[in-house]
Amino acid sequence: MHFKPAYYYKLLVSLVFLLAAASVVAADFSLEQVANGVYVHYGVHEDLDDGYHGDISNIGFIIGSKGVAVIDSGGSLKTGQRLRAALREITALPILYVINTHIHPDHIFGNAAFLADQPQFIGHEKLANAMELRKPAYLKQGQQLLHDDFVGSDIIKPTVSVAQSLVLDLGQRKLLLQAYPNAHTNTDLTVFDETSATLWTGDLLFIERTPSLDGDIKGWLKALDQLQQLKNIKQAVPGHGPVTRDFSSALNHEARYLNLLLEDIRAAIKQGKTMEQTMDSAAQAESGNWQLFNAVNRRNINLLYPALEWE
């Protein structure tokens, strides 16, 4: 038996391609410096059910003269380790704080990568309890979705909790943390870097990716009003999507979707539509404005419809 040279050539080409793809996966952990000392790693817009790799949310860090605060750690120990390695290429200063903007697994499961740094872990006053309640389900889900990539990922609870607000000093740089009542979740926290006037919103703000609800839609809209009142924001880092210098428009864009969702579900209930019918119809006018719209919008309706039925 003998193969044509073309066969070997094709084999060689595909091997080279495979190796190149593998090295890209290993090395490709991009960081963008969005202001002096403020670094963001952008997650990709993958759905949990569709090729989730534990790296879908925006995570990053802020560097002061004394040390560093990490803001969200990614969806797995592996993602947290990659963030830490990227951080260490930029600064050798101690990692003083790891802040979690809320409970969701794509934001917290990299925490363990920073344990050896002995930082304060910081979260909303309700975060520790939410972590305790969701731990079994989140660990199971992470293993099912990420397999080997989830090894070593664990729930690391806050050592400092924020009831209303808190100021952290990174050395010649202060971070103002603000807790919110039930909104995107019941554990939402924003981080404002005074020096650069950069606001990290966590998932109170989605850009491009369809906003997903896990808290209280009316509380979320109220939080958006509150954020709209802030006048000194130069730029905002959303939980998902690109950094924006037009914070007000981004808030309006999200509020428009959430308001329509609320209106359409209320109207559907009034008209006697079933939840299934409502899942196919509510907020459809927004479908062209967002990524992953159908899956996320259906989940939002699935959560909201039963709650609004009893309004």
By CB under 5 A, name the binding residues for Zn ion: 104, 203
Q: Could you give the CA distance from residue 66 to residue 178 in angstroms, rounded to a whole number? A: 22
> How far, in Å, CA of 170 to CA of 70, rounded?
11
Considering the complex, what minimum distance in angstroms separates the CB of residue 94 from Zn ion? 28
Parallel, antiparallel, or unpaired: how do β-strands 95-99 and 68-71 relate?
parallel
Please report how close the Cβ of residue 232 comes to Zn ion at its closest, in angstroms: 25
In angstroms, the CA 213 to CA 250 distance is 17
- What is the rounded distance in angstroms from the CA atom of residue 100 to the CA atom of residue 120? 11
Could you count the other beta carbons within 10 Å of the beta carbon of residue 300? 24
Residue 100: helix, strand or coil by DSSP?
A: coil
Complete DSSP assignment for 199-243? EEEEEEEESSBPP--SS-HHHHHHHHHHHHT----SEEEEEES--
Say if residues 182 and 215 touch (Cβ distance below 8 Å). Answer: yes
Q: How far is the CB of 148 from Zn ion (least distance, A)?
A: 24
Shorter beta-carbon distance to Zn ion: residue 203 or 216: 203
At its nearest, how many Å lie between Zn ion and the CB of residue 291? 15
Distance of closest approach, residue 133 Cβ to Zn ion, in angstroms:
16
* Residue 116 beta carbon to Zn ion: minimum distance, rounded to whole angstroms: 27
Taking the complex as a whole, the smallest distance from the CB of residue 203 to Zn ion amounts, in Å, to 3
In degrees, to the nearest 5, what angle opens at C-alpha 240 toward C-alphas 20 and 139? 80
Dihedral sign computed on CA atoms, order 43, 185, 304, 141: positive
Q: Which CB, 203 or 286, lies closer to Zn ion?
A: 203
Please, which residue, 138 or 269, has the CB nearer to Zn ion?
138
Contact (Cβ atoms closer than 8 angstroms) between residue 254 and residue 211? yes
Q: Which residues, other chains included, contact 62 with Cβ-Cβ below 8 Å and sequence gap of 6+?
A: 37, 38, 39, 68, 69, 71, 170, 173, 175, 191, 193
Q: Residue holding tokens 């939410």?
A: 130
CA distance 255 to 1: 67
The residue among 96 and 304 lying less far from Zn ion, judged by its C-beta, is 304
